[in-house]
Structure 1
Amino acid sequence: MTGAPTRRRIAYGDDASQVGELHLPAGDPRGVVVVVHGGFWRAQYDFSLGTPLADDLAARGWAAWNIEYRRVGPGTGGGGGGGSPETFDDVAAAIDVLGDADLGLDLTTVVAVGHSAGGHLAAWAASRTRDPRWAGGVELTGVVSQAGVLDLRRAVREGVGQTAVPDLLGIPADPDAVEAAYDPQQQLPLDVPVWCVHGRDDDVVPVNQSEEYVAAATAAGARAELVAVDGDHFVVIDPEGPAWAEVVGVLDGLG
């Protein structure tokens, strides 16, 4: 390949948070990676968290679509207006933008890579078209969850992110109030493979979120794999670190 990767900002709606940055490699992309940032779905965290990963992916030959979405609560410079279903509507709409003919993207391989709350949204997006609200959109072909919140009922029981899940869903702190449509654990088995890359010493999103998701997925006949790595909650989004190398290795096997 010659030249350098490029970056293009694309709006998929009228809200300031309905935007993404498409990082394109110098040559034809190997496939598309949707980068979904974390931050417990809260407005103070934005898609700048995904920029280093998208930059790295584009340098490796991928088209990386780093998406923003409406989040929960107040944030510096905006970012609120999210929750259910708004946050989910945005993630679905952002992924569906990839199908626009003017982008000219080959959608044979479309993998969502998400960290923490973004891991939840990445896994959710792989099942979203089962629901009539989000049917007919671009289908994912794989998911890499980086320390993802994959079992919302368990997260409520254990206070993962304190009140983050009830705040996202607009429910009381009752696991039974979590609707299946929003919960990856309740959508098993998925039709696409899922890799769960998770730090063994994660004290923000416990590794049991990934361990039990993979166990339940494989028991249900789905393809899922736990990739346990050394380190904490954030080691998985360090593009210079060994945990990110595990993510890159997964992607190398896909495109």
Structure 2
Amino acid sequence: MLKIIRHSLCAAAVAGSAASAAAPMTLQDYLALDGRQPDRRIAYGAAPSQFVELFKPQGMGPFPVVVLIHGGCWTVQFGGIRQMRNMASDLAAQGIAVWNVEYRRHDEAGGGYPGMYQDVAQAVDLLKQEAQASQLDLGRVVAVGHSAGGHLAQWAASRHRLPSWSPAWVKDPLPIPSVISLGGLADLRLQASLIKSSCERDTGQLAGKPSAQRPDVFLDTSPAEMLPARIHTVLIHGEHDNVSPLSTGEAYAQRARAAGDTATVLMLPGGSHYDEVAATSPSWKIVSAEIRKALGLK
């Protein structure tokens, strides 16, 4: 039986007593999130959305790294990288470097399939070039993604499993041993109807169109089809997440475990789809603790 860790409100030491009093965050609350400016902005392509933001802690490294990938239903409509600065600022204050990834979404020129996946791959692998100069410890890396970014974070950590015919395939991608999905939507086949109802996105917009050479469009786009990836996946969902409910994480974890991978499912008491990414939310104590755990920090 799948074990689900429910951080109950009686365990106030984890979530804080404010968890029972704070109202779940709304989309408007999420869109208002922001943080400090990054220390560096690094382009990995010529398109306006092909860049990463580096948030560095004070002091001397090497620093553990969070690869942070925003959501927003794979569209430019719902913000993204600016809202992730809220998390990034707090993590940098904890001594953790953050690699905040922007990418071309399905409604941008060159986005969708395969451009969106190629962008994420390039952005992640750029870490290998920047690690020494920016004092980044590539032995301590975790991918963290929210919503659509949960899909892309899980994909990024699993892409060593890509078939060689995929346009996003590269030799020796950066190893990422664990991934934290915050309200993720990573099983594009199983969750097609949920993605349609929650995000108004069709499979073709995210995974491309089938062809004689590529009859199954999920094989190089859906992390669920790339199992076993030999990574550990933590799937975190707010109690009141109606975009990607807890059952979504449960279903993915069952598939991962059946394939031989390890997976943990956590519920954020009182949290919505947006509390999952806000350092100002009571849920942040749980989320940040999982990030620190994945990086081997106390």
TM over 0.5: yes
Is the 1:194–1:225 Cα contact (8 Å) retained in structure 2?
Answer: yes
* Alignment partner, residue 141 of structure 2: 110
CA contact (8 A) 1:191 1:222 kept: yes
- 1:121 matched residue in structure 2: 152
Could you tell me which amino acid in structure 1 is paired with residue 222 of structure 2?
D
Q: 1:177, CA displacement in angstroms?
A: 5.2
* Aligned match of 1:90: 119
SS at structure 1 position matched to 2:68: strand
Change (3 A) 1:26 1:213: same
Partner of 2:208: 170
Using the TM superposition, give the Cα deviation of residue 87 of structure 1 relative to its aligned residue in structure 2, in angstroms: 0.4
Matching residue of 1:228? 267
Higher RCO (C-alpha under 8 Å, 6+ residues apart): 2
Bigger radius of gyration among the two: 2
Cα distance in 1 for residues equivalent to 2:236 and 2:255: 16
Correspondent of 1:144 among 170, 174, 180: 180
Q: CA deviation at 1:56?
A: 0.9
Q: Is contact 1:155-1:165 (8 Å) kept? A: no
Counterpart of 2:70 in structure 1 is 37
Aligned residue number for residue 67 of structure 1? 101
CA distance in 2, matches of 1:41, 1:185: 18
1:76 matched residue in structure 2: none
| TM superposition score normalised by structure 1 | 0.88
Contact 2:189 2:218 in 1 (8 A): no
Q: Is the 8 A contact 2:106 2:113 kept in 1?
A: no
What is the distance in 2 between the residues matched to 1:252 and 1:5?
Answer: 22
1:107 is aligned with what amino acid? L
CA displacement at 1:6 relative to structure 2: 6.2
TM-score (norm 2): 0.76
Is 1:247 aligned to 2:287, yes or no?
Answer: yes
SS of residue matched to 1:65: strand
Partner of 1:9: helix, strand, or coil? Answer: strand
- Closer, same or farther: CA 105–82 of 1 in aligned 2, 3 Å: same
**2:38 and 2:240 mapped to 1: Cα distance?**
36
Are residues 166 and 202 of structure 1, via their aligned partners in 2, closer, same or farther at CA, if it must alter by over 3 Å? farther
Q: Match for 1:14: what amino acid?
A: A
Aligned-residue offset at 1:164: 4.6
Greater CA deviation, 159-168 or 49-58?
A: 159-168
Q: Distance in 2 between matches of 1:190 and 1:80?
A: 31
* 2:116 alignment partner AA: T
Identical-pair percentage: 40
Corresponding residue SS for 1:127: helix
Is the CA contact 2:37–2:85 (under 8 Å) kept in the aligned structure 1? no
Counterpart-to-counterpart distance in 2, 1:252 and 1:104:
18
| Structure 1 stretch displaced more, 148-157 or 64-73 | 148-157
Instruction: Give me the whole-angstrom Cα distance separating, in 1, the residues matched to 2:56 and 2:201.
Output: 37
Q: Quick one: which amino acid aligns to residue 7 of structure 1?
A: D
**Which 5+ residue runs of structure 1 have no aligned equivalent?**
74-78
- Distance change >3 Å, CA 147–CA 29, structure 1 → 2: farther
Distance in 1 between the 2:208 and 2:109 partners?
A: 14
Distance in 1 (CA, whole Å) between partners of 2:277 and 2:75 is 18
1:197 aligns with 2:228: no
CA distance in 2, matches of 1:246, 1:127: 24
Distance 1:243 1:219 in 2: 29
Deviations, residues 194-249 of structure 1 (Å, cap 9, x unaligned): 11111122111232221111122122221110011122211101112232222211
Contact 2:114 2:208 in 1 (8 A): no
Q: Do the aligned partners of 2:188 and 2:218 also contact (CA within 8 Å) in 1? A: no
Deviation digits for residues 68-126 of structure 1 (CA, Å, limit 9, x no counterpart): 000122xxxxx543101100000010000110143342200111110000000000011
- 1:134 corresponds in structure 2 to 170
Once residues 150 and 166 of structure 1 are traced to their aligned partners in structure 2, the CA distance between those partners, rounded to angstroms, is 15
